[in-house]
Amino acid sequence: MASLGVLRESDDFELSLALQNNSALQRALQEGGKTDETRQSLIVLACRTIQSCLGPGVKLDPDPSLANTNWSQSCWLTPKCIVYPRSAKDVSRTIKILGLLHTPFSVRCGGLSPTPEHSSIADGVLIDLRELGGIEISADGRIASVGPGARWSDVFEALDPHGLTVVGPRLPNVGIGGFILGGGLSFFSGEYGLAADKVENFEIVLSDGLIVDANSAEHPDLFWALKGGGSNFGIVTRFDLSTVPIRDIWYSMSTYAITEVPEVLLAFEQWQLRSADPKSAIFLRMGLDSCTITLVYSSPAKRPPCFNVFYDIDVMEYLILPTNGTVVSLTTALAELFPHNPARHDHRAASRKNDLGLYSAVEAYWVWRKETLALRDSTRADATFMIQHVPKTLIEKGIEDGSNPLGLTAVPQQWWAIVVDWDSAKDDNLVRESLRDITKRWTDLAKEQGTHLDFEFMNNASGDQNPLRSYGETNLQRLRDISMKYDKAQVFQLLQKGGFLLSRA
């Protein structure tokens, strides 16, 4: 077919006018990408046109080393080009061109999603937001304005001299955008709610290229939707986060033998049911050979009494001795203890009420361990089972801060997650099928015991799960209505390849 050339931009550039003057492009769009040749030509045209607008911020036919920075090797795909916008205006130009040329794309912040095409793409355009990494603290210290390309460790370090932090992740190598737009569970969520609940304002680029602020006063419906609604509405180019007055904290990390799991789980259940202290948090990770617990108290302390049930359990090894430190020192230590090593990864989510005591959690653990031991024997996969406490105060803070779309039942609960790492692509189907089977058995067990909650935490969900559906039909329909209002052409549903999309919910 005839060459489509390049659409060039001036300060008063209008893509629609360029389209009218490009007959080859008109024919290609009328064909609707019916042939592979047409589709490829439109993708190449989009890449070259974006490059003409952004210059060196676009890499055509990129080296795989640029594309393959995602956490999971299963997401290592090579796009036709990578766009590195340096401003919201760059994002606006990019998304207008992609919409006009019907070009598939994915958006990458940290690249931590283990689902192929959620932050990677083959034969399309990858928008990598790493250059939007600015961090600014307001004069009064109340707001931290953070770009989606920043890293949480940098955010924590910027706030440390002010005696402040934000509600961020437990492991600092998580991306900004995916964490917040999926909800965001933190060591400080019992006291302050989810990370999404502490956003004061989103600067977002819509599908028509318009750059808007979404907050409680401007576009409040979009503001609500972004607090857990994922990547369905636009590309967020700045998060204005409320800071919290936390710097100095107490923490420890201990490893326990597998034989201690029943006692550890009993202590965990007692802490959940008896501790009313929202300053306390626990990061519980159970492996096939040991169990690791991180205890965190959001103020300096000696031996916080809320953790008394853990102090008499035999410790196999202290990875971090009980100490008073800072948010920065804790997250630095955790980043060193849990590095993101190259491998194939996936995770999966489930939820339950935490009112049955010891029996349910122990039984679920042994179900998980039997299945994952067999999986390790056949694939060498390494698995971790996490139980995440969600106190009622977390849900109440979300309501107090203007609510969010998650539709959480206002009861104390647990969000369970499995994380699996493996090496070979030939084992992908076997590993993922095993995860689905374990999750189904957990769900069936919880239903039998009357503790099942129909909620899937987006940050822990696997690609074939449906966290948006678990928000409830009322909230799901509201999200769809907001999507249609702000994305009339449904660019983010039809052209965006990754993310938990409303079009698939």
In CATH, what number is assigned to the domain containing residue 307?
Answer: 3.40.462.20
Residue 63 lies in a domain: yes
Q: Residues 468, 436: contact at Cβ < 8 Å? A: no
Does the pLDDT value for residue 4 go beyond 60? Answer: no
The domain of 360 spans 248-469
- Residue that terminates a domain, selected from 245, 264, 289: 245
| pLDDT score of 12 | 43
- Indicate if 274 and 237 belong to the same structural domain: no
CATH for 75: 3.30.43.10
Query: What average pLDDT score do residues 172-194 get?
Result: 95
| Higher local confidence (pLDDT), 370 or 475 | 475
pLDDT for residue 3: 45
Asked whether residue 11 carries a pLDDT value surpassing 50, the answer given is no
- d(CA 21, CA 257) in angstroms, rounded, equals 71
**Among 245, 262, 291, residue at a domain's last position:** 245
Residue type, 469: R
What are the pLDDT digits (tens) for 372-388? 999 999 999 999 999 99
CATH of residue 224? 3.30.465.10
Cα–Cα distance list, 364 to 57, 370, 419, 440, 492 (Å): 49, 10, 15, 11, 38
**277 and 396 share one domain:** yes
306 and 421 assigned to the same domain: yes
Q: Do 312 and 200 sit in the same domain of this protein? A: no
What mean pLDDT is predicted for residues 452-475?
A: 96
Q: Is residue 3 part of a domain?
A: no
Q: Are residues 122 and 167 in the same domain?
A: no
Q: Name the residue type at position 476.
A: L
Lowest mean pLDDT across 17-31, 291-305, 330-344: 17-31
Query: What burial letters (b/e) apply to 231-259, b meaning 16+ CB within 10 Å?
Result: bbbbbbbbbbbbbbebbebbbbbbbbebe
Q: What is the spatial distance between Cα 391 and Cα 394, in angstroms, rounded to a whole number? A: 6
Q: What is the mean pLDDT of the chain?
A: 90
Q: What is the pLDDT of residues 211-234, one digit of tens each?
A: 999 999 999 999 999 999 999 999
In this structure, are 313 and 447 located in the same domain? yes
Q: Is residue 435 part of a domain?
A: yes
- 241 with 303, same domain? no
User: Does residue 461 fall inside a structural domain?
Assistant: yes
Q: Clarify whether residues 463 and 354 are in a common domain.
A: yes
DSSP 8-state code for residue 496: B
Residues 69 and 183 in one domain: no
- When mean pLDDT is compared across 128-132, 273-277, 314-318, 476-480, the lowest value belongs to 273-277
Task: Tell me the residue length of the chain.
Answer: 505
Which amino acid is present at 357?
A: G
pLDDT of residue 70: 87
CB 127 within 8 A of CB 106: yes
Q: Quick one: pLDDT at residue 10? A: 45
317 and 443 part of one domain: yes
Instruction: Note whether 116 and 201 are same-domain residues.
Output: no
101 plus 151 within the same structural domain: no
146, part of any domain: yes
Asked if residue 420 belongs to a domain, the reply is yes
- Predicted TM-score (pTM) of this structure: 0.93
- Number of folded domains in the chain? 3
pLDDT one-digit tens code per residue, 321-365: 999 999 999 999 999 988 777 899 999 999 998 765 545 677 778
Q: Greater confidence, 142 or 411?
A: 142
What is the pLDDT averaged over residues 419-444? 93
pLDDT of residue 1: 36
Residue 268 in domain: yes
Q: Is residue 156 part of a domain?
A: yes
Q: What amino acid is encoded at 332 in this protein?
A: T
**Domain end residue (candidates: 216, 245, 274):** 245
Assess whether pLDDT exceeds 90 at residue 493.
Answer: yes
User: Contact 155/133 with Cβ under 8 angstroms?
Assistant: no
Please compute the mean of the pLDDT values over residues 232-243 and round it to a whole number.
Answer: 98
